[in-house]
Structure 1
Amino acid sequence: MPKSKNKRRKKNNGLAAVLIVLVICAGLVLGGIFFYNGQLKPAASESEQITFTVSQGESLNRVIKNLEDQGVIRSGWAAKISVKLAKLTNIKAGTYILDPSWEVREIFEVLNDSHGAVVNDTRLTFIEGDWAKHIAEKIGETTRCSKDEMLALWNDESYVRSLMSDYPFLTEEIFNADSRILLEGYLFPETYNFFVDADADQITRKILDQTLKVYNEFADQFAQSQLSVHQLFTLASIVQYEAAKPSDMQLVAGVFYNRLAAGMKLQSSVTVCYAIDKEKDDDWMACEVNPDFDSPYNTYRVEGLPPGPILNPGRDAIQAVLQPQVSDYLYFMADVKGDGTVYYAKTYAEHQANVRKYLK
């Protein structure tokens, strides 16, 4: 009998211990939840207007850190959990009027609203070499116009034709059946201020206005060139991609002119990048190993220039094709594994020697 009582006593003690542990765990969980919810309460009891700016491309972590530093929210870690659970992470760039007396969710609902910014413009920078899809994506991130809406408009023949009277650099040659995006090459890389509620036409015209300034700057040289305006923008786009440094652009442009004059194919690997829709900076080797890829943009297969620009060139590249440097070179290659230095050659044998030396 004593042994049976001892067993029962031990069993009861064990159950009690388990219950105590469960109670402690439950207390910790409830305490944690209580503490978490407390961190989501307004940072201030009284209303106060705080101007808060979200920069283009700023990460969620940085935005939350800035909110915490400015006293708009109590806790960065709690806010981060909350907004991820609520799927309020699509923060728009702009300047906002926020109030620390608001709940965290309310603050982030404003930051996720494309019309929530109190300053009506947003600044965007398009860099030399951006494809139309990159530019459209940047626009879609900060204005009411989506990426797909912009690309559809830029590829709408009737719309592009309506622009031609205002922008003389847009010519009939643009309407090539093989063109991927009709306005590719004409979206000038620059820093722009757009109204956040601007429509797609207003945004497009603001970009083309900048292209027009550059076109007018070189109007006489465009008129005197042996190539058409569309061909010049196309060649400038290739030069932009092939020569990373402005100091190389005029000489690279001269090489392409020499090849065209000699009836040689341009054989530019960067046109393969566009053909296979692979960006050189992400996968340059894919551009080098696909010379047989079937595309009207692939200058290893087609004679002369592709049907249109492969990207949006900047002023230096446009100037380079209008003022090419004269030389006897027919080949060049960039040391993509090193510092990007461009090496030139007059013969294929010299070119192959450069390839073996710098790319093998």
Structure 2
Amino acid sequence: MAHNDTHAARKKGGAGKILLVVLLLLLLAVGAAVHFAYNEIHGNGAPGSTEVTVSIPQGSGVAAIANKLKEAGVIRSAYLFRWYVGQKGAAAKLQYGDFVLQTSAISYDAIIATLSQYAKAETVRVTIPEGTTAIAIAQKMESAGLCTAEEFLKEANEGDFSAYTFWQYVPEDKEAPNRFMKCEGYLFPETYEFLKDDTVHNYVATFYAQFDAQFTKEMYAALKKQGMTLPELVTLASFVQEEAGNSQDSNVAQVFRNRLAEGSPYPRLQSNTSSHIQSDADNNYLWNWVAPYYDGWDNIPENILTAYDTYSCIGLPAGPISNPGLAAIKAALEPQPDEEAKDAYFFVTDLKGNYYYAHTLAEHNANCKTAAAVNKSLKN
């Protein structure tokens, strides 16, 4: 009996020693981590630091900046830097540009102070109006001397932009074989300052980062509630942008949504902004952008022509026809129409900018005559 008690006491004592060792190791690990964090934050790095130039692209978030600093050897922990910037509330202060910093011997406060000053870097300002197509944006980038249009489109369509939330909802080409361009609709229209001699990837990322920032969690929730996909919304918004792009956004969006609704007697958009009509008078996506891309109308692949002709395809076409602004996107998502457009299936405009809405084809034909009379009076 005494022998068993002695054995149990030894076992208990052994377990206690193990626990003590584990606690000691944990304390040492915590101590080492605290010591590392203190030295890292206060710039007590390894001796023999050197100057490096760190280029921060426009639109970079704290995570991207932290990774750039770590790659350059300025900091040792991207996670710790992100945490510290958050604690300081300094994220909004960080600028883009070229910055000269020391490697491993500079405090986080000094880094933040340097990055908070606007860096003098050679930049090019490019303004992208709402409703600009991907090809037109690429051409603007080429005209600005930043990259070729071909390079821009290739990266925009084929590059890896999975870091952005919206990108996971944009199907790959194999999943959308009738779509003209993957990037169309997501190159957010804005005025940008681009660094000269930056990478094509960063140029494209600037557009995508802005789209990602504009599309909120509430908007994703509204999409889910409606059973609508992001490509469907952006496609609809691109038509709203082209047919309105003004105070009539919600009314036009409602007309299109009425046509797209289940059981609609008019399930086609029938918009001249993307149709079989070969006319320079219309802002026709197929005629003005798709046809030239394929060196002529007759060379457009049949599946793409069919998928984008809104007079033949039922429902939405295979993809957006431009890059819409936020107002058009919001109107397409949750329109707030006037009474005259709530149940309308048709609209027509005149050269004065008036919009006429109709529920029946007969009413629409009458509106077309009214609009034509207004147009004729302006030409006399």
TM-score normalised according to structure 2 size: 0.55
Determine if the alignment matches structure 1 residue 274 to structure 2 residue 289: no
Q: 1:343 to 1:278 in 2, by over 3 A?
A: farther
> How far has the Cα of 1:322 moved from its partner?
1.2
> 5+ unaligned residues in a row in structure 1: which ranges?
1-117, 280-292
Q: Give the Å deviation of 1:128.
A: 0.4
Tell me how far 1:342 sits from its aligned partner: 1.3
Partner in structure 1 of residue 67 of structure 2? none
Q: Output the CA distance in 2 between the equivalents of 1:219 and 1:197.
A: 35
Quote the Cα distance in structure 1 between the aligned partners of 2:170 and 2:211.
17
Where does residue 225 of structure 1 map in the other structure? Answer: 226
Determine the structure 2 residue equivalent to 1:359. Answer: 372
Aligned to 1:295: 306
Q: 1:271 to 1:185 in 2, by over 3 A?
A: same
Deviation of residue 266 (structure 1)?
A: 1.1
Distance 1:359 1:197 in 2: 51
Note the C-alpha offset of 1:269.
Answer: 1.1
Counterparts in 2 of 1:183 and 1:294: CA distance versus 1, 3 Å:
closer
What does residue 183 of structure 1 align with? 183
Tell whether the 8 Å contact from 2:164 to 2:208 is kept in structure 1 after alignment.
no
Which residue is 1:331 aligned to? 346
Give how far 1:195 is off. Answer: 0.3
C-alpha distance in 1 between matches for 2:184 and 2:249:
20
Measured in 1, the distance between the counterparts of 2:245 and 2:164 equals: 32
Match in the other structure for 2:117: none
Matched residue, 2:196? 196
Mapping for residues 1-360 of structure 1, pairs under 5 Å: 119-156=121-158, 159=159, 162-173=160-171, 175=173, 176-216=176-216, 218-245=219-246, 247-261=247-261, 262=264, 264-272=267-275, 273-277=284-288, 294-325=305-336, 327-335=342-350, 338-359=351-372
RMSD after superposition: 2.3
| 2:22 corresponding residue in structure 1 | none
Contact 2:123 2:195 (8 Å CA) reproduced: yes
Distance 1:306 1:164 in 2: 25
Q: CA deviation at 1:153?
A: 1.9
How many corresponding residue pairs?
224
Letter paired with 1:166: Y
Q: Which runs of 4+ in 1 moved over 3 A?
A: none
2:214/2:326 contact within 8 Å kept: yes
Contact 2:170 2:182 survives alignment (8 Å): no
Q: Identity over aligned residues, as a percent?
A: 35
Look up the SS of the partner of 1:332 in the other structure.
Answer: strand
Inter-CA distance 355–170: structure 2 relative to 1 (3 Å threshold): farther
Deviation at 1:205, TM superposition (A): 0.7
Amino acid corresponding to residue 345 of structure 1 in structure 2: A
Compared with structure 1, are the counterparts of its residues 276 and 195 closer, same or farther at alpha carbon in structure 2 (3 Å cutoff)? same
Distance 1:299 1:250, change over 3 A: same
Matched residues in 1 for 2:188 and 2:242: separation?
A: 15
Structure 1 residue identity aligned to 2:345: L
Per-residue deviation, 1:219: 3.1
Residue 127 of structure 1 and its aligned partner are, at CA, apart by 0.4
CA deviation after TM superposition for structure 1 residue 211, in Å:
0.3
Amino acid at match of 1:164: S
TM-score (norm 1): 0.58
